[in-house]
Amino acid sequence: MLPILIRELVEKKHWLTEKEIMDYFAIGQCTPGVIAVNTATFTGRKMRGNIGGIVATLGIVTPSIILITVIAALLKGFADNVYVQDALAGIRVAVCVLMVNAIIKMVKEAVVDLPTLIMYIAVFIFSAFSGLSPIVFVIACAIAGILIKLVFKYKGREKK
């Protein structure tokens, strides 16, 4: 969903900026539910208020529920089929590539200076080697972002 949302909402429709979609993904990591649903809700609300948020949420959830119901009904009988297993293995590879491409775009937008590079490396290492929840990383980086801005603002005042 991430590459599709970026392509549709940022590149094609221009409803969101890359910064906004990254903010929505960050918030979506901290809130319950699927990130695509949370992003649709935020985008709909931005475009048309609360009603827009509700309609966007229903718009993204309804087709998924129908599709998942149909797939679950069909897959139950075909799950052991070697062709279905091979197709799913190929789909997983394609999804990984699409996710990596979307992540590369997001990193280019998010890592803009030395402090954000340090936060990126720290979160990458700690998330790879610890069992901490993503919420911990998001909150820690939010606090770090605030503190860094305060320090740079304070240092900027001293130079005046």
pLDDT in tens, 56-70: 999 988 988 898 888
147: nearest Cα among 108, 118, 126: 118
**Tokens describing residue 12:** 């094609």
Please determine, for residue 156, whether its predicted confidence score (pLDDT) is greater than 70: no
Task: Report the percent of the chain where pLDDT is more than 70.
Answer: 96
- Put simply, whether the predicted model's pTM sits higher than 0.85 gets the answer no
DSSP for 45-114, written as a single string: HHHHHHHHHHHHHHHHHHHHHHHHHHHHHHHHHHTT-HHHHHHHHHHHHHHHHHHHHHHHHHHHHH--SH
